[in-house]
Structure 1
Amino acid sequence: MDVSAVLEAPAKPDNGARPGGTGLFRAFWRWHFYASFLVIPVLLILAATGLIYLFRFQIEPVLHADVMKVDQPAGLVAQPYETQLDEVRQAFPDATVVSMTEPSAPDRSTVFSVDTAAGPRDVFVDPYEGKVLGSLNPDTTLSGAAILLHGELMAGRWGDYVIEIAACWAIVMALTGYYLFIRGRVARARRRAAGAAGAVLRSRHGRTGAVLGLGLLFLIVSGLPWTGVWGAKTQELATHQGTSFWGEDPGALSNPTSTLDESLPHSHSVPWGLGKTEVPRSNPADGKRSVATVDTAIEVGQRNGLRRPMTIALPADDEGVFSAIGYAFNDPGKERTLHVDRYGGRVVSTYGYSDYPALAKVVAQGIALHEGRRLGTLNLWLTTIFCLGVIFMCVTGPLMWWRRRPKNKSLGAPRGRLPLRATPALAVLVTALAIVLPLFGLTLAAVLLLDQLLLRRVPRLRTWFNTAN
């Protein structure tokens, strides 16, 4: 890959570049081409798993109707949640129940998340008869697997790195794509008018990319706070500036033992801004005459205006608290959590969106848009169309290359160099991207070294990669 040629003289302009100009068209086409090798496979996975995640509430009840759906008997009211909890503990005597989520509709079951020796389970209970219907491993359901693929490619930290690298290069691909779309519009129109092979597909690819590009950039930026390098380092910088991606509950200062997202590791129910909130403690010696229950936590949450269906994180020990999380799926502004003392049922602390730092509010809103839930049905369908558009781009890009691939079995990469010496603004942009996106900078440096130390020195590789002299 002739990426190291960014410091060389400009190549001969072609296909939209002005005579005697900088040759940016072919140079950008070359970068767009090579970036796609890394970006397309990852984007295809993210778009497909994103579609599954978007429709998880429609898909999973169909796939697992035997445990997720119930019939509401006439005249029968739901059993107390504490009774349902007892049934779960009897069915899983060696497991630890970590949370309970209320039924989302009259025909849905109550969900208890438990930790067992074999791993996490979601246990489903008929709220009317109070019996356990069955259990599922939340990470092996279709939507659970999609979440793991979407977040880390099921490869842990290394998968997270791959996604972050692909996201960084997707920015390069989007920016170069816009340049190609604008500068190549005359050539594309001429090819369409002449009936050239592949001209219609190239035009559709360009127009779709022009529409999706800004959305892609938004999704990349809104997804970066999840990443292990950019997200972690940016959070560290934000902390030094007195702000944070996360909210920090001031009522969680009494000997905390874990954070809220650690106490609910598999539920995906913790609002983003509260995910790192430290959990406060109860005092076993204080008010032990009255012991609160799950139903107490629901009652306290309802009395304090939490939206339903609520998720209740159960206390892990005698000093633990009930953490009541209000429903705020469509509106992060409604995110609110109450920590309820298990002795006497008093509210130990309340923390919500209004208490977040300004940066955490922005991130929470961005993530809601990213997940297709901020604007209700409109957001859902726009994100669906976007994912389908990304899949179209991931298919048509390789197809265009396959149709125009050379017969000499070379890679068929566009031939061009980025003339950074002649365009200082472009040099500043590339340098800024490398600094702001560390993994982009590292991979760019690796490509430069590979090009200088290997590709340019082996004639066959130089020919196959179509490297300019």
Structure 2
Amino acid sequence: MTSPAPTLERAPAPGAASVPDRPRRTSWFAPFWRWHFYAGFLVLPVLAVLAVTGLIYLFRFQVEPLLHADLMRVEPAADGFLMPYAVQQQQVVDRIATDPSLAGATLVSVTEPGDPYSSTRFSLAMPDESTRDVFVDPYDARVLGALNPDSTLSGTAVRLHANLMSGTVGDVVIEVATCWAIVMALTGYYLFVRGWTARRRVLRHARAAAGTPGGGVRLRDATLRQRHAVGGAVVGVALLGMLVSGLPWTGVWGAQAQQLASRGGTSFWSEDHGAVSSPTSTLDESLPHSHARDVPWALGGTERPTSGAGSDTGSEDDERSVANVDTAVLVAAREGLARPLTIALPETDDGVFSVIGYAFHDPTAERTVHVGRFGGEVVSTYGYADYPALAKVVAQGIALHEGRSLGSANMIGSAAMCLLVLFVCVSGPLMWWRRRPKDGTLGAPRARMPLRTTPLLVVALVALGVFLPLFGASLVLVLLADRLLLRRVPALSRWFGVRAA
């Protein structure tokens, strides 16, 4: 690494009054640019995956029926009469008994059609812990076929979005990338504000020299820089909101924050105080994992109550008193739940029908009614109004994150944000590629954070590291690598642009 050229100081003129030296202002631009540069290299690949998979998930209800029209789309009957769900359920039970590919499956839930052209979906839990969806024509109870929801385009997108389909390792990678994306966004805003005048000047000069040799290249570079800056500034606030609202899903921060919240008497999700027994399962466990999204976020950990014990007299009246899935739907409709409904079926003899009104566009209308399987009575109800304050905040944040809180505007805005994120993910590396050094070095800005002269910055980094533990841990690793490795190996020092020890 070459040393900086020595600066020549002009001697004061004879007889000139001596002027005291002014303290030099600490420049944050180059250090923030360096952090923005490295954070981008760390997180842009993950952000690109999250943006693409998020875009697919946004339009899943439009895309999947096109890809699987033979299973998900039906022609309405002339009279519009729907077969009872109990009849449809029996057809699925018969299919399980005769189809070797469904051997050992357990029927766990049914989701009613969302419109006259949609089929009824029955969700199964398989012995190998995978899931299957069986689709039934609601007008004639004919089984249309089965599908592994994890193998669909949107199912694959969901699994990539959750943990890169890599379990705990992928979950940690996404959480670390999320933390550093926050750093990238914050440093990006600083660079946007401080560098606005310089970028405009460079763009103006590039336009003036567009007709000269090499002027076209300069103009394209200057235009790309400006568009990257403006695009990043537009998407930055929304990106920060998406990143923060996605943290409750993470395995480290989400789990630790939930524990702290529980100790403080609140929760990220609800506890159904209407549960009058000691249930053995929760709503998200009773549905196939790929359909956990059918359970409102705050209700995901809700304990399921049980039905009251039925009479053991064996009389004919007792037989008639046993409720079924149609009873549960009627009771839920009477209670005013949002449609379409998902009904989690009883798992045991004393189980309940848990009817879930997801309220897609209105989290405040989320509500679940537990219906007894013997008399069809309402065992308990629980909804948004009963959530702890923190669960209400998280429910609203998740709805915004999924593009469903403000109707079409939220969905369109989320889609636009995904596209802008993809633009930033492409334009950033493209700018580096066009301006990369020809000597084989990385070309990162050569500057160090002025931590010794700005204690407030140290406090901010420590606070962020404590609030985001994986960021704090990764930051320590980065600083140790910089001090113990990069600065002690000449080849690495030169390539990364750091001062050798």
Decide whether aligned partners of structure 1 residues 346 and 66 sit closer, same or farther in structure 2, where only a CA change above 3 A counts. same
Which residue does the alignment assign to 1:62?
66
Alignment of 1:134-145 (within 5 A): 134-145=145-156
| Cα shift at 1:205 | 0.3
Q: Distance in 2 between matches of 1:305 and 1:74?
A: 28
Summarize deviations over 1:86-141 as a string: whole Å, max 9, x none.
00011112321100000000011000001123521011000011010011111110
Which residue does the alignment assign to 2:56?
52
- What root-mean-square deviation, in Å, do the aligned CA atoms of Structure 1 and Structure 2 show? 1.5
Aligned length: 453
Matched, 1:100 2:102: no
User: Does the 8 Å CA contact 1:27/1:418 hold for their aligned counterparts?
Assistant: yes
Which residue does the alignment assign to 2:262?
239
User: Does the 8 Å CA contact 1:246/1:276 hold for their aligned counterparts?
Assistant: yes
Q: Which amino acid aligns with 1:239?
A: S
Which residue does the alignment assign to 1:88?
92
Which residue does the alignment assign to 2:212?
none
Matched, 1:21 2:53: no
Question: Secondary structure in 2 aligned to 1:92?
Answer: helix
Q: Structure 2, unaligned stretches of length 5 or more?
A: 1-6, 8-21, 98-103, 207-217, 313-317
Matched, 1:379 2:416: no
Q: Judge which range, 262-271 or 435-444, deviates more.
A: 262-271
Matched, 1:190 2:190: no
Summarize deviations over 1:202-260 as a string: whole Å, max 9, x none.
00000111111111111111000111111111111111111111110012240211111
Question: Secondary structure in 1 aligned to 2:294?
Answer: coil
Question: Among residues 239, 244, 248, which one is paired with 2:271 in the alignment?
Answer: 248
Summarize deviations over 1:164-198 as a string: whole Å, max 9, x none.
00000001000100011111112111211121351
Q: Which amino acid aligns with 2:224?
A: L
| Cα shift at 1:160 | 0.8
Question: Secondary structure in 1 aligned to 2:462?
Answer: helix
Q: Distance in 2 between matches of 1:423 and 1:266?
A: 48
Which residue does the alignment assign to 1:170?
181
Q: Structure 1, unaligned stretches of length 5 or more?
A: 1-11, 13-17
Which residue does the alignment assign to 1:275?
300
Q: Which amino acid aligns with 2:290?
A: H
Summarize deviations over 1:362-398 as a string: whole Å, max 9, x none.
1000110110000000001011110000000000000
RCO higher in structure (CA 8 A, sep ≥6): 1
**Structure ID, larger Rg:** 2
Which residue does the alignment assign to 2:222?
199
The structure 1 segments of at least 4 consecutive aligned residues displaced by more than 3 Å after TM superposition are: 283-289
Q: Which amino acid aligns with 2:73?
A: K
Q: Distance in 2 between matches of 1:355 and 1:19?
A: 59
Q: Distance in 1 between matches of 2:140 and 2:344?
A: 23
Q: Distance in 2 between matches of 1:49 and 1:111?
A: 23
| Cα shift at 1:451 | 1.4
Matched, 1:117 2:140: no
Alignment of 1:450-469 (within 5 A): 450-468=481-499
Q: Distance in 2 between matches of 1:302 and 1:103?
A: 14
Q: Which amino acid aligns with 1:203?
A: Q
User: Does the 8 Å CA contact 2:295/2:358 hold for their aligned counterparts?
Assistant: no
Q: Which amino acid aligns with 2:399?
A: A
Sequence identity percentage: 61
Q: Distance in 2 between matches of 1:380 and 1:442?
A: 35
Q: Distance in 1 between matches of 2:125 and 2:252?
A: 29
Q: Distance in 2 between matches of 1:131 and 1:19?
A: 82
Question: Among residues 398, 411, 418, which one is paired with 2:449 in the alignment?
Answer: 418
Matched, 1:295 2:326: yes
| Cα shift at 1:63 | 0.2
Question: Among residues 346, 349, 371, which one is paired with 1:340 in the alignment?
Answer: 371
User: Does the 8 Å CA contact 1:78/1:127 hold for their aligned counterparts?
Assistant: yes
User: Does the 8 Å CA contact 2:35/2:184 hold for their aligned counterparts?
Assistant: yes
Q: Distance in 1 between matches of 2:499 and 2:27?
A: 13
Q: Distance in 2 between matches of 1:127 and 1:285?
A: 31
| Cα shift at 1:326 | 1.2
Q: Which amino acid aligns with 1:120?
A: T
| Cα shift at 1:421 | 1.6
User: Does the 8 Å CA contact 1:416/1:468 hold for their aligned counterparts?
Assistant: no
Matched, 1:438 2:457: no
Which residue does the alignment assign to 1:368?
399
Q: Distance in 1 between matches of 2:203 and 2:24?
A: 26
Summarize deviations over 1:427-462 as a string: whole Å, max 9, x none.
111111111000000001111111122111111110
Q: Distance in 1 between matches of 2:310 and 2:80?
A: 39
